[in-house]
Structure 1
Amino acid sequence: MKAICLYFQVHQPFRLKTYRFFDIGKDDNYFDNHSNAGIIRKIAEKCYLPANKILMDIIRAYPGRFKVAFSISGTALDQFELYAPEVLKSFRELVATGHVELLAETYSHSLASLVSGDEFKKQVKRHIKRIRQLFGVTPTTFRNTELIYSDKIARKVAMMGFEAMLTEGTEKILGPQSPNHIYKSQAAPNLKLLLKNYRLSDDIAFRFSDQSWQQWPLTSQKFIKWLNELPEEQQIVNLFMDYETFGEHQWAANGIFDFLTSLSLELLTSSPFTFVTPTEAIRQLDVRNSLSASNPISWADEARDLSAWLGNELQHDAFDSLYKLKKKVKKCTDKKILNDWKYLQTSDHFYYMCTKDMADGEVHKYFTPYSSPYLAFINYMNVLSDFEIRVTQHLRALRRQREQQLIKKLINDEREAILQPVMADLIVERKIKARK
């Protein structure tokens, strides 16, 4: 059996509005609702709705044969509900076919797995609950934010009961081995690993419309030829990419939707490959070997490490400042504070602070709403300063409330202690009178 596993990441952050130093202590609305709504609506029209229709048409035309997987972040789900409910409906219809697998991830698309085991677990549980509520399914495969993986994270994921996890097929953990096999975690042997074939995936996600690329234009026939040239013993090719590849990063005018359709149909009708979901893959295919990652890897940038989010002092300062508040936030009961805490953890905020140049820098510039990483840092830290003030004030209010409740209880207890003997004497007196 030779298999193709198509997996798409669906994620949109709640972007911050311009938040100045003079707003601190005066404005607790941090997010650019107008911009976020406009972006979601635009991407819905350009990507989500047309791409979902294509997938649905293929699923209906080839019942049981065409399969895909998605991980949809909690921040994306929240924004679909707010700004584009028809997108959520179209994803529900896809899942209802039984041929689309939904994966679990951190609700906030956060980096919590790197710093806080309890926060990480809490976010994953929240995401699973949300998936159950909206789609009626329970994920069994996990995909961490940006495919971040390490031995330490693998143990956490395995302890949560997941059967498999997706990550990057980088030589850092593979060495000379191919990503086109099922592996298992050396740190958690019950956890199976599906590795992205980054060369073939990035041919579609990044190079499809690059006319300077030697292989341009990319056609479905050319791509299938490359697949057919893979060694026979390589059982699975994992094509993992952002769903926004279709129509947003690669425009419809460049033929990306035609490519998606023709590639899928030709693989179904004239190739030895079978489409599988991640869970089907790990249950049907043999494990090749075990892999270890002492240092975290990801699918971002050429380094495929954490440097996209934690590669400079700005990012570390913002990241450390955020998670220093974790213990205080855990004591909070204010729903808005807890919701803001959730959205402030989204990895994109740190991605915007990246100061890389060359090819990686160009990718970061494409995604950021800021004119420079320094402005991204300043804006985020202004927001975080106000957030810390709110948390502190809320905890003080809770403390005063508890103190008042304690004082009231002590007064009541003291009053009861004083009145109890008097009441006892009255009861005895009434009993004597009743006997007479």
Structure 2
Amino acid sequence: MKALCLYFQIHQPLRLKRYRFFDIGNDHYYYDDYTNESIMRKIADECYLPANKIILELLKKYKGKFKISYSITGIALDQLEQYAPEVIDTFKELAKTGDVEFLAETYSHSLASLIHKEEFIYQVTVHSDRIEALFGVRPTVFRNTEMIYSDEIGEMVSKMGYQGILTEGAKHILGWKSPNYLYCNAINPKLKILMRNYKLSDDISFRFSSRGWKEWPLTTTKLVGWLNEMDDKEDLVNIFMDYETFGEHQKKESGIFEFLTYLPQEVILKSKYKFATPSELTSEFHPIAQAHVPNVISWADEERDLSAWLGNKLQDEAFRKLYALRDDVIAVNDERINEDWKFLQASDHFYYMCTKFASDGDVHSYFNPYSSPYDAFINYMNVLSDFQIRLNEIKDSLTVDPKELQNQILQKDELIAKYERELDEFKHC
């Protein structure tokens, strides 16, 4: 039987406050708490809570016939814990059904896989620890930030013990081949690759409420009809998208929640497909071929490359400066520094600096706190400058000249000897 995999990404960055040049060295708190809380509460009320309620009802109703998967970044979990803890409780309820799979991520939703192997491995490990602590199961399938993938990244993920990875079914990689099969890593075939069917995924996440789209309105009957028309030889269909599709990208009034409510019934009763989680797909199906991805791909924008984050000099400069500080951050190992380091790595900071407005401007404006990419760059670099000053101050305080340290010891010894002589004189009085 053919399989349908539904996967949803959950992430919100910790947005920076307006941080000016004159704040450098004077203000060491970088975050816009009001905006972050407002956005998280808004998305919790409009998306996470109502969608989770529907999903839980469906899981209980269909008992093993309906399955779903999520990846939730560490930064999103941090904010949910602070601003909307009831959302985490609802995810715990979903986990208890046994029909929900939680995937591994980079904790910070970072680009570490592109520049620093040790930082990448550390973040993924910490994230998996957090997921296991919250939901009781350790992830076995990985989803990199923005589905960023290459042969080398896949090899790293395989060595970390994950059995599968999710990525984009990019045309320039697949060519004539279909994303509706299981593939494997070109360097280490043990790692299975699940590729997103971007057409069906985007039909729901981007085009669902577009009245100018020739297929509007999209109904569950129409979607299942498309699934049934696919080549019988194809094994599976992966529909991967942001969870914010439900209620945020596609508003409640569009009928998106009704679509979600009736989709399982339509698939179970009227299609050739069963619902499956990523780990089930990697176990039940055999790869038909290796996927050769020598150059990095992602699921972003029309190009499906890295240009959304590292496509101009502003982004490259900020990216290089950030990761040049990594060794000092590790050496200092200060709690506040570590927290800021975690939040400053979020890929969103570089995404806001993107200058690709022609084809993808609407996407890049989503919850963007800046008026321009240059404004985003200046604000981020001001914050990074202050962060570096703090880092250097702590590092300098931990570095003591050996001669100076010896002098300090001698002075203390002399002072102790002086006090001992005075104490003896006092005793003989």
Distance 1:263 1:325, change over 3 A: same
SS in 2 for 1:336: helix
Report 1:3-82 matches (<5 A): 3-82=3-82
- 2:130: which partner in 1? 130
Distance 2:268 2:404 in 1: 70
Deviation at 1:60, TM superposition (A): 0.3
Once residues 406 and 294 of structure 1 are traced to their aligned partners in structure 2, the CA distance between those partners, rounded to angstroms, is 55
SS at match of 1:183: strand
Residue equivalent to 1:369: 369
Q: How do 1:103-142 and structure 2 match up within 5 A?
A: 103-142=103-142
Over 3 Å counting, the alpha-carbon distance change for 1:403 and 1:26 in structure 2 is farther
Question: How do residues 333-348 of structure 1 correspond to structure 2 at under 5 angstroms?
Answer: 333-348=333-348
Q: 5 Å matches for 1:89-168?
A: 89-168=89-168
Q: 1:292 to 1:22 in 2, by over 3 A?
A: same
Cα distance in structure 2, aligned partners of 1:138 and 1:331 = 29
Instruction: Kindly state the Cα deviation for residue 365 of structure 1 after the two structures are TM-superposed.
Output: 1.6
Q: Report the AA paired with residue 244 of structure 1.
A: E
Give distance in 1, aligned partners of 2:46 and 2:296: 34
Match status 1:310 vs 2:310: yes
- Is residue 2:201 matched to residue 1:190? no
2:425 aligned partner: none
Deviations 1:93-151 (A, max 9, x none): 10111100000010000000000000000100110111121111100000000000001
1:84, distance to aligned residue in structure 2 (A): 0.4
Any idea what SS the aligned residue of 2:288 has? strand
Give how far 1:152 is off. Answer: 1.1
- Higher alpha-carbon Rg: 1
Q: Counterpart of 1:339 in structure 2: which amino acid?
A: E
Shift of 1:3: 0.5
**What one-letter code is carried by the residue in structure 1 that aligns with 2:194?**
L
Distance 2:103 2:406 in 1: 46
Q: State the shift of 1:171 in Å.
A: 1.7
Distance in 1 between residues matched to 2:324 and 2:156, nearest whole Å: 22
Q: C-alpha separation between the residues in 1 aligned to 2:405 and 2:94?
A: 52
Match of 1:13, SS state, is coil
- Residue aligned with 1:366, SS: coil
Q: Secondary structure at the match of 2:365?
A: helix
The runs of at least 4 aligned residues of structure 1 exceeding 6 Å deviation read 401-415
Query: How many angstroms apart in 2 are the aligned matches of 1:344 and 1:118?
Result: 17
**Residue by residue, what CA displacement relative to the aligned partner does 1:287-315 show, whole Å, maximum 9, x if unpaired?**
11111111100000000000010011111
Q: Deviations over 1:139-179 (max 9, x none)?
A: 00000000000011011101101000000001222111000
- DSSP-derived class of the 1:26 partner: coil
Unaligned runs of 5+ in 2: 416-429
Determine helix, strand or coil for the equivalent of 1:194.
Answer: strand
SS of structure 1 residue aligned to 2:366: helix
Find the aligned partners of 2:31 and 2:401 in 1 and give their Cα distance. 30
Q: Secondary structure at the match of 2:8?
A: strand
- Matched residue, 1:238: 238
Equivalent-residue separation in structure 1 for 2:146 and 2:113 (angstroms)? 12
Amino acid at match of 1:152: E
State the superposition RMSD in angstroms.
1.9
Corresponding letter in the other structure for 1:128: S
TM-score scaled by structure 2? 0.94
Identity of aligned residues (%): 56
Shift of 1:413: 10
> Amino acid of the residue matched to residue 391 of structure 1?
L
1:412–1:24 distance in 2 versus 1, CA, 3 Å = closer
Give the aligned residue type for 2:82: L
Looking at structure 2, the residues matched to 115 and 347 of structure 1 have their Cα atoms a distance apart, in angstroms, of: 13
CA contact (8 A) 2:227 2:271 kept: no
Aligned to 2:216: 216
Deviation of 1:410 after TM superposition, in Å, equals 7.9
2:426 alignment counterpart: none
Map of 1:253 onto structure 2: 253
For residues 11 and 130 of structure 1, the distance between their equivalents in structure 2, rounded to whole angstroms, comes to: 15
Residue equivalent to 1:434: none
* 1:393 corresponds to: 393
Q: CA deviation at 1:31?
A: 0.8
TM-superposed CA distance for 1:64, in Å, is 0.9
SS of 1:298's equivalent?
Answer: coil
Q: 1:359: Cα distance to partner?
A: 3.0
| Superposition deviation, residue 202 in structure 1 | 0.3
- Name 1:422's counterpart in structure 2: none
Cα 1:192–1:414 change in 2 (3 A) is farther
- Cα separation, 1, equivalents of 2:198 and 2:402: 55
Gaps of 5+ in 1: 416-436
Work out the CA distance in 1 between the residues paired with 2:223 and 2:402: 66
- 1:148 and 1:309 map into 2 onto residues whose CA distance is 11
Equivalent residue for 1:295? 295
Q: For the Cα contact (< 8 Å) 2:71–2:102, is it kept in 1? A: yes
Give the TM-score of the pair, scaled to structure 1: 0.92
| Deviation, structure 1 residue 338 | 0.6
Residue identity opposite 2:39 in structure 1: I
SS at match of 1:201: helix
- Select between 190-199 and 212-221 the one with higher mean Cα deviation: 212-221
Letter in 1 for 2:116: S
Contact 2:224 2:270 in 1 (8 A): no
Inter-partner Cα distance in structure 2 for 1:403 and 1:281: 63
What one-letter code is carried by the residue in structure 2 that aligns with 1:383?
Answer: V
Residues 412 and 318 (structure 1 numbering): CA distance in 2 closer, same or farther, change over 3 Å? same
CA distance in 1: counterparts of 2:324 and 2:357, whole angstroms? 30
Between 1:338-347 and 1:124-133, the stretch displaced more is 124-133
Find the counterpart in structure 1 of residue 279 from structure 2.
279
Partner SS, residue 399 of structure 2 = helix
Tell me the matched-pair count.
Answer: 416
Instruction: Provide the C-alpha distance between the structure 1 equivalents of 2:399 and 2:133, rounded to a whole number of angstroms.
Output: 35
